[in-house]
Amino acid sequence: MGAPPKKAFPLRIDPALFAAVERIAAADLRSANAQIEVLLREALARRGIKVGMSETPKRGRPRKEAD
């Protein structure tokens, strides 16, 4: 049983604001979606709200177990 899938929803955002998010995302080597998550977590932390990270499945080939 894996982690629950991420919640998807449409986001209406000012094009200039989204362009700024895309620029900082590119500078940080992130997708715009990942950058929005980072910015939301930072804003919540400034308000004193801690949000844990959901456990996500590991990507790639599983490691070989020792004999």
Query: Can you tell me which residue has the tokens 């209406």?
Result: 12
Q: Is 35 exposed, middle or buried (0-12, 13-18, 19+ CB in 10 A)?
A: buried
Q: Which residue has the tokens 């604001």?
A: 17
- The residues, any chain, with a CB within 8 Å of residue 45's CB and separated by 6 or more, are 51
Q: What is the spatial distance between Cα 41 and Cα 50, in angstroms, rounded to a whole number?
A: 8
pLDDT tens readout for residues 12-33: 999 999 999 999 999 999 999 9
Segment 38-53 mean pLDDT: 92
The residues, ordered by sequence, that sit 6+ positions from 29 with a Cβ below 8 Å of its Cβ are none
Determine what percent of the chain is predicted with pLDDT higher than 90: 60
The least confident of 7-11, 47-51, 54-58 is 54-58
Average pLDDT of 38-59?
86
